[in-house]
Amino acid sequence: MARHSSSHSSADHHYSALQVSEYQSYQESFAAKSDATCESSSKEKTEQNGGENLQTISSQRLHHASGEDFTIASRENIVMCPTDIPVEEGKLLDNKFNDLNVNIDDTSICKENQAFTLDTIPIEILLHICTFLEAGEIIGSMSKVCKTFQELFTDESYWRIRIAKRWPKKYPPVSCQNIDWQGACIDRERSHRVWSHPEQHLEHFTFNEGLFAAVDVVHLLQEGHFLAAGSRDRYLTLLDLRKYDTSRPETKKDLKLHCINKAHNGWIWSMASLGTQLFTGSWDTTIKVWDLVEGQAVTAHKCKSAVLGLYAEANLLVGGCFDKKVYFFDPRQESPVKVKRWHRQPVLCVTGDDRYIVAGSEDKSISVYDRRAEAVFKSVHVESYPLDMSYHCNQLWYGDKHGFLNLIDATLGNFELVQRYNVGHTDKVTGVVHTTGAIYTSSNDKTIKVLEPSVDPQAIVTLQKHDSGVARIDFKNGVLASAGCDISVGIWRPKCDWGWQRF
C-alpha cells in the first residue's frame, strides 16, 4: 500500500482511523449494492423510454496530461478516497485531478468512445460529481431518481464524510447522539453559501417608523414571518414581514401589524414565544402574555424586580430578574409557582430544556437547575459574566462582557467549559443564536458576525449596518433580525422564496 501526495495542505484532510474505516466500509457496501441493482434499474429505464437510457453521458472524455482522450472502462481499477488514506499502487492522473483521487491502471484506459448513465458509472465518479452539487439538490432530486441513489443518499456516513472533507474542524463541537447528518449538511452548505455572499442571496432593510428610542430586543415568531420589537419608549411593535416588497418601497408602511403604546411602564428588555403567544419582560417588573392576532395583553405575571431574561415552553414560563432570583410561572396563573435564588448578583439570562433550567448571572457564574431533583446540581464559574445564551444539542454558547464567545459542553449533564473564543468582537457580546448551519453573534461594537458552527469558529461574514451598538439578535427560518441602539430594527431575509426551506 502506498500513500498519495496531494496538492492540498495536510490541514484540509484530518481523518481519524474511525473515519477512514467508515469511509472504506461504506464504499464497499454500497458498491456491492450498486452492482446488484444498477443492471435491473438500467434495464427498467431503457424499457420505459423506448430503448433510450436516461441521463446518458455520451462521448464525454477525460483529457490526460499527455494529450490523449480516454474513457473509463472498468470499475475494478478505480479507487477514490481522501488523499491521506492508503490506496492501491497505480498511476495517478495529472495533479489537476488530485481532488478526484482516481487510480487508473493502464488496462482501464481505452481509446473507444463509451457512453455511461449516472446509475452505471463507477460509484467513485458519481460521488465526485456530487461534490459539485448542493446537498439540497441531491436530496430533492438525485435521491429520487432510483432506489440505488436513494440508498446512497440516505446513508448517514455519506453526509458525515461530506461535511468532514469540506470543513475539517470538529463538528459538531461536542458529542450529539441524535444529530440529523443529512439536515446538518444541508444547513451548513446553505448557510455558508448564503452568508459568504449575502448581497446575492439576501435582501436587507431597516425599520424605524414609529420608533423614538433605542430598541433593546427583537424576537421572530411563526417561522420568521412575524417580528416583535421592544424599545425604551415602552412601545411594543409587531411586524408582518410578508407584507413588505423591497421592490415597492411604498409597501413598507404595511409592515406594521400592531404598535402598542405603553405596552409596559418600563423598558421592554426580554422576549420569548410559544405558538401564537408572545411573552415580554420589562423593567416594570412584569411579564406580559400577548395575543398576536388581537395585539392585546392576555395576562400579566408579577415579579418583584426587573425581568432581564425569559424562557418559555408549554405550561412553563421562567424569568431571570434583577433581584438575583429566578421566577417560575404556570402561564395560566398570575402568581409564581416557585421563586429560587441561586446567585449573588442580577440574573441576566435564562434558557433551558426538558431536564435543566440554566441561568447566567452578573456574579460570573452559570447555575444549572435539575428540574427532576428540583435543585441546582452544578454551578459553573466563568471568567466574564454572560449576557446572552443559546442552548440545544448539548451545546451551551454564551457571549460575555469582554467580547468573547464561550462554549460549554452539556453532554450527560457535565456542563464543562470547552473553550473561550475570540471571534473578533471589540466590545461586549450582546446576542448569541446557534443552529446546525451557523452561529450568529451581535455586539456593542456595532457588528453582527456569522460564524462556522464548529470548534474554534471562524467568521463567514461580518455585518455592520447599524450606526450604534447592536443590543440583541434573533434568527429563525433563514431570517435574521437585529435590535439597534440607533433606533432601528435590521432585517435580512432570503431573496428567492420565503424562508430557509430544505428543498
Cβ contacts of residue 24 below 8 Å, gap of 6+?
81, 85
- Please name the residue ranges forming H helices in 454-503: none
For 352-407, the DSSP string reads E-SSEEEEEETTTEEEEEETTTTEEEEEEE-SS-EEEEEEETTEEEEEETTS-EEE
Minimal CA–CA distance to 23: which of 115, 86, 70? 86
* pLDDT the model gives residue 142: 85
Task: Give residue-wise pLDDT tens across range 263-312.
Answer: 999 999 999 999 889 999 999 999 999 998 888 899 999 999 999 999 99
Percent of all residues in the chain with a pLDDT value above 90, rounded to a whole number = 62
Task: Pick the more confident residue, 49 or 70.
Answer: 49
Strands 202-207 and 365-370: unpaired
DSSP 8-class letter at 149? H
* pLDDT the model gives residue 33: 52
* pLDDT the model gives residue 332: 87
Contact 395, 337 (CB under 8 A): no
* pLDDT the model gives residue 437: 96
Contact 404, 417 (CB under 8 A): no
DSSP strand E in 426-467: where? 429-434, 439-443, 448-451, 459-463
* pLDDT the model gives residue 98: 42
- Band of the pLDDT at 62, cuts 50, 70, 90? very low
List residues bridging with 376 in a β-sheet: 369
pLDDT above 60 (res 23): no
* pLDDT the model gives residue 279: 97
Contact 441, 451 (CB under 8 A): yes
- Band of the pLDDT at 233, cuts 50, 70, 90? very high
Strands 325-329 and 338-341: antiparallel
Task: Give residue-wise pLDDT tens across range 93-117.
Answer: 334 334 444 444 444 444 455 566 7
Task: Pick the more confident residue, 32 or 441.
Answer: 441
> Stretch 321-337: mean pLDDT, rounded?
94
> Stretch 23-41: mean pLDDT, rounded?
52
- Lowest mean pLDDT across 49-53, 197-201, 310-314, 380-384: 49-53
Show me where the domains of the chain are located: 123-186, 194-494
Its CATH class, for the domain covering 194-494, is: mainly beta
Enclosing H/E stretch for 46: helix 17-48
> Stretch 417-421: mean pLDDT, rounded?
96
Q: What whole-number distance in Å separates Cα of residue 378 and Cα of residue 25?
A: 42
Q: What whole-number distance in Å separates Cα of residue 307 and Cα of residue 364?
A: 19
Minimal CA–CA distance to 28: which of 140, 123, 132, 118? 123
pLDDT above 70 (res 247): yes
Task: Pick the more confident residue, 20 or 73.
Answer: 20
Percent of all residues in the chain with a pLDDT value above 70, rounded to a whole number = 76
What's the chain's average pLDDT? 82
Task: Pick the more confident residue, 36 or 257.
Answer: 257
- Lowest mean pLDDT across 13-22, 78-87, 425-434: 78-87
> Stretch 462-475: mean pLDDT, rounded?
97
pLDDT above 70 (res 26): no
Contact 100, 80 (CB under 8 A): yes
Task: Give residue-wise pLDDT tens across range 116-166.
Answer: 677 778 888 888 888 899 998 898 888 888 888 888 888 899 999 999 999
- Band of the pLDDT at 28, cuts 50, 70, 90? low
Task: Give residue-wise pLDDT tens across range 368-409.
Answer: 999 999 999 999 999 999 999 999 999 999 999 999 999 999
Q: Within a 13 Å sphere around the CA of 282, how many CA atoms are in the beta-carbon half?
A: 25
CATH number of 123-186: 1.20.1280
Task: Pick the more confident residue, 24 or 430.
Answer: 430
> Stretch 229-240: mean pLDDT, rounded?
95
